[in-house]
Amino acid sequence: MKIDKTIFRRYDIRGKYPKKFNEEAAYNIALGFANLFPEIKRIVVGGDTRKSTPSLVQAVINGLIDGGKEVIDVGIVITPVVYFAVCHYNFDAGIVVTASHLGGEFNGIKMVLKNATPTLPEDYDKIKNLIINNQLLKTKSQNSAIKKIDAEKDYIKYITSKINIRKPLKLIIDSGNGTARLLPEKIFKLLGCEVNTIYSEPDDSFPNHIADPYHKENMEDLKKEVLKKKANLGIAYDGDGDRAGFIDNKGNIINGDDLLMIFTKDTFDKKLGPIVVDARASMALIEEVEKHKQTIELTVGYHAAVLSKIIKNNAVFGGETTCHFYFPLEYYLTDDALFASLKLVQIASEKKDFIAFLNSLPKYCVGEEIFIEFPDTKKYQVVDNFTKIAKEKGLDVNDVDGSRINFKNGWGIVRPSNTSAFIKVKFEGKTKNDLLDITRKMINLMDGSGIVMPANQRKKIGL
């Protein structure tokens, strides 16, 4: 059977619809998933609000049914609701049709196993090989069936039971024309907050901005509304609702490093234990955790890898600078942006002066993450070569995800994107001068290994 191999990423499946990822591919992937895990019986299926999603969901359901599985159809929901359903009702697996924060021309699949544990890169390779080698088997059985349930109702009840907002806050929500729609507003209102939502109508052309709060240009409209309405906090959700970005009442973005710091510090008074973060995390966080005599584990910058290490280390918190967060002490082990935003609002409601609290957080000078376009077929090899050169020069290299090079007063990282055709770089220094010095050193190393930063990006960072 033919299938575009490039849609298989390390931790999910994504491609342009219908040229690369279509109903035939979705059907074969679902049947491959059923073949790969014969012990699995009941699988939750849901999808986002893209126009291509309903037919792709049906193709996934058909593949699972032909693979002898019982399908629990939860409809069009945010990704965390699918994960919740897997955990809460003790189902065996879950599949979400979504391309997350990518544009409307894309779609894809995320797959999890029992307890919403992510499938591994080798699982995706095995499914791909089953398809390519014409080894798919139809094993439709008497147990094959489709059952529809309303998981969102129990999700709302459960998630609100975990949060106590001490004083109601005024919030602005930006759903980004994605799958979150008015669900966050509904939940926060149940907890007593005053809420206004912008861009709640689903539209996969994303007419206002791409539903990706990691990039600051996508937060501008939310910032304006927060300042205009004099809100306490602004919250923006990505396309499938597993990530959120935040604006404080002064219009400042609360960046991923600060959020990791806030959520980590929240664990200190509850239960001390390991913290897991991606390899782009600030050294200020590392120092703060070590100051409390706790261990911090760095991992690959993708939520499935973070979760795997949380489970392995029995961590009390884990997350990414790109705003995937896990709260093992309080919630199912899923990256749920709504729960993360509820947690932040709860913490903010407990502070006499939240802005003063934010300003008190330990921090250094961090440069913005830079995206360098690079072909998927070459990016891993080039980063491996960069890592090899750095080690040959005797530098202090952490190669858990690409190459994080530690210097006396900071660090820099070069890593391949796990979801798109980019190499990503980021630098941090204790002072602005340290940041500039480390940036120069890293770019010289990159130039010597074939990773050339475009002139406009060099100019932007002052080189």
Residue 113 tokens, joined: 């196993």
Model confidence at 419: pLDDT above 80: no
290-336 per-position pLDDT tens digit? 999 999 999 998 888 899 899 999 999 999 998 999 999 999 999 99
Model confidence at 346: pLDDT above 90: yes
Question: What confidence score (pLDDT) does residue 379 get?
Answer: 94
Q: Answer yes or no: are the C-beta atoms of 44 and 91 closer than 8 Å.
A: yes
Nearest CA to 94 among 72, 127, 62?
72
430-440 per-position pLDDT tens digit? 999 999 999 99
Least confident of 221-225, 270-274, 449-453: 449-453
Beta pairing, strands 422-429 & 317-319: unpaired
Question: What confidence score (pLDDT) does residue 333 get?
Answer: 95
Q: Answer yes or no: are the C-beta atoms of 199 and 174 closer than 8 Å.
A: yes
Nearest CA to 415 among 277, 280, 214?
280
Question: What confidence score (pLDDT) does residue 4 get?
Answer: 93
Question: What confidence score (pLDDT) does residue 142 get?
Answer: 67
Tell me how far apart the alpha carbons of residues 91 and 157 are, in angstroms, rounded to a whole number.
19
Whether 100 sits among the annotated catalytic residues: the reply is yes
Question: What confidence score (pLDDT) does residue 304 get?
Answer: 83
Tell me how far apart the alpha carbons of residues 331 and 326 are, in angstroms, rounded to a whole number.
8
Model confidence at 461: pLDDT above 90: no
Question: What confidence score (pLDDT) does residue 462 get?
Answer: 74
% of the chain beyond a pLDDT of 70: 100
Q: Which of 100, 282, 403, 417 is catalytic?
A: 100
Tell me which of 419 and 199 has the higher pLDDT.
199
Domains and CATH numbers, the chain: 5-153 (3.40.120.10), 170-254 (3.40.120.10), 256-355 (3.40.120.10), 365-460 (3.30.310.50)
Biggest CA pair distance of the chain = 68
14-50 per-position pLDDT tens digit? 999 999 999 999 999 999 999 999 999 999 999 999 9
> Which residue is associated with the tokens 């604006």?
247
Q: Strand, helix or coil at 383?
A: helix
Tell me how far apart the alpha carbons of residues 268 and 201 are, in angstroms, rounded to a whole number.
40
116-167 per-position pLDDT tens digit? 998 988 999 999 999 999 999 998 776 788 999 999 999 999 999 999 999 9
Tell me how far apart the alpha carbons of residues 462 and 180 are, in angstroms, rounded to a whole number.
38
Question: What confidence score (pLDDT) does residue 10 get?
Answer: 78
Tell me which of 302 and 399 has the higher pLDDT.
399
Tell me how far apart the alpha carbons of residues 275 and 300 are, in angstroms, rounded to a whole number.
14
Nearest CA to 204 among 325, 346, 76?
76
Confidence of residue 454 (pLDDT cuts 50, 70, 90): confident
Confidence of residue 376 (pLDDT cuts 50, 70, 90): confident
% of the chain beyond a pLDDT of 90: 89
Mean pLDDT of the chain: 95
Tell me how far apart the alpha carbons of residues 217 and 143 are, in angstroms, rounded to a whole number.
49
Question: What confidence score (pLDDT) does residue 145 get?
Answer: 86
Model confidence at 463: pLDDT above 80: no
> What Cα–Cα distance (Å) separates residue 329 from each residue in 86, 244, 343, 345?
19, 20, 12, 17
Tell me which of 143 and 382 has the higher pLDDT.
382
Q: Answer yes or no: are the C-beta atoms of 29 and 123 closer than 8 Å.
A: no
Question: What confidence score (pLDDT) does residue 233 get?
Answer: 98
Q: Could you please report the per-residue DSSP string of 255-276? A: -HHHHHHHHHHHHHTT----EE
Model confidence at 73: pLDDT above 80: yes
> What Cα–Cα distance (Å) separates residue 429 from each residue in 261, 282, 353?
17, 9, 28
Question: What confidence score (pLDDT) does residue 295 get?
Answer: 95
> Which residue is associated with the tokens 């499914």?
127
Confidence of residue 377 (pLDDT cuts 50, 70, 90): confident
Tell me how far apart the alpha carbons of residues 151 and 82 are, in angstroms, rounded to a whole number.
8
Q: Could you please report the per-residue DSSP string of 97-131? A: E--TTS-TTEEEEEEE-GGGPBPPHHHHHHHHHHH
Beta pairing, strands 275-278 & 296-299: parallel
203-236 per-position pLDDT tens digit? 999 999 999 998 999 999 999 999 999 999 999 9
The backbone torsions φ and ψ at residue 461, rounded to the nearest 5 degrees and listed phi first, read -95, 10
Nearest CA to 76 among 62, 101, 104, 56?
56
Model confidence at 421: pLDDT above 90: no
Q: Answer yes or no: are the C-beta atoms of 312 and 299 closer than 8 Å.
A: no
